[in-house]
Amino acid sequence: MNVRALLALSLAPILAGCAAGAGATAAPPDRFATVKDSYTSFRDALAKDDYDAAYEALSRDTRDRYPSQVFWIAFNMTSTGQHYRRLIASSVLVASIEKKDGVNAVAILRAKDPRSDLYEMKSFRGVKEDGRWLVSFTLQEFFGIPEDEFFDLEKVAENRDFRHRR
């Protein structure tokens, strides 16, 4: 093999990489590629009070169940929601467990409760939709308030769980 052929063969991959790299831009990483990525996106959005970004992290079923306004009310206008929002925003992911079906997972979180200085554990379900891990929950699972009572303002007011902001 002559020197020219050897040089052409050794430079071909380098030149091809440069040509491909010149016009191509790297796609941003998917914020929901793994259970950990989904948790991080959800946590960071709640920490910034970015409810649109947090809502984007929710599964289709959860979004169908709760319009974005209800999601905002649940996390912003109830004392339980405010507590969990702060807890999630300051939490660390202890473990994420994907089930064998490849579609369901559980994320286990730990955070220090500022009121008691004790650690509290919380979990949420993840579901894989269109190749993305998303947060899935019901108000009853997350807040401990039965669905039919959550929107009963008399019941909520009776429990002093609803706080109006002025």
Express each pLDDT in 53-70 by its tens digit. Answer: 999 999 999 898 888 888
- Mean pLDDT of the chain, nearest integer: 76
Contact call for residues 42 and 54 (beta carbons, < 8 A): yes
Q: Cα–Cα distance between 100 and 97 in angstroms, integer?
A: 9
3-state DSSP helix/strand/coil % of the chain, to nearest 5? 50, 20, 30
Residues 141, 139, 80, 90, CA torsion sign: positive
Beta bridge partners of 106: 97, 125
How much is the CA Rg of the chain, to the nearest whole Å? 23
Express each pLDDT in 75-118 by its tens digit. Answer: 887 777 788 888 888 899 999 999 999 999 999 999 988 778 89
Per-residue pLDDT for 6 more than 60? no
- The model carries a pTM of 0.69
Averaged pLDDT, 120-127: 88
Q: Give one DSSP letter per residue of 18-48, joined into a string.
A: HHHHHH--PPPPPTTSSHHHHHHHHHHHHHT
Helix (H, G, I), strand (E, B) or coil at 8: helix
Q: How far are the Cα atoms of 22, 23, 27, 148 from residue 19, in angstroms, in the given order?
A: 5, 7, 17, 60
